[in-house]
Amino acid sequence: MRVGHIIKLIPERKFGFIKTDHFRDDVFFHFSALRGGLQGRLLEENQEVEFEINEILRLDEQKLEATIVQTPARPLSKTLDEKLIRELQASHHPRARQRKPTWREKSGPKEELESNPESNPPESMAD
C-alpha cells in the first residue's frame, strides 16, 4: 500500500484527493473506497492514510484513483520537539583531546629527527 495525506475534501460530493510522494499528480478517492477506521468517521485535511490505486485505470487512461483508503497500520510521521533534538545531539566529553595521546610521548627527540629528513643536515656538510 502507498502512503499519503489528504489534501482536499469535498464532503457534499463525497470525494477527495490524496497527495503522495509516489506520483506527481494527486490521487482521487471516493468515500465508498474508505475502509477500516475511516468508515463513518469524520475525515480531516492533512490526515495520513494508506491507499491502493486502480492500476488498470492508471495504465489505460492515465488517471489516478484510489480503490482502498484506510488508516495507516502504524504512525507514519512523528515530529520531535526542539528540546528532544538538543538532547539527542552528540557532544564531546569535556576533557576530550586536552591531553596528548600516550603513544606520542614515547617518541624522543632523536626519533623525531630521524623521521624528518629535511631537518637533518647532510653528513658531508656536518664534518
Domains of the chain: residue spans and CATH = 2-70 (2.40.50.140), 82-117 (no CATH)
In a 3-state reduction of DSSP, which class is residue 5?
A: strand
The closest of 5, 6, 23 to 62, measured between CA atoms, is 23
- Answering whether pTM is above 0.85, one says no
The pLDDT value recorded for residue 114 is 56
- Give me the residue label for grid cell 591531553: 99
Per-10-residue mean pLDDT, the chain, length 127: 88 90 88 76 83 86 87 69 74 68 62 56 55
The closest of 39, 4, 1 to 23, measured between CA atoms, is 4
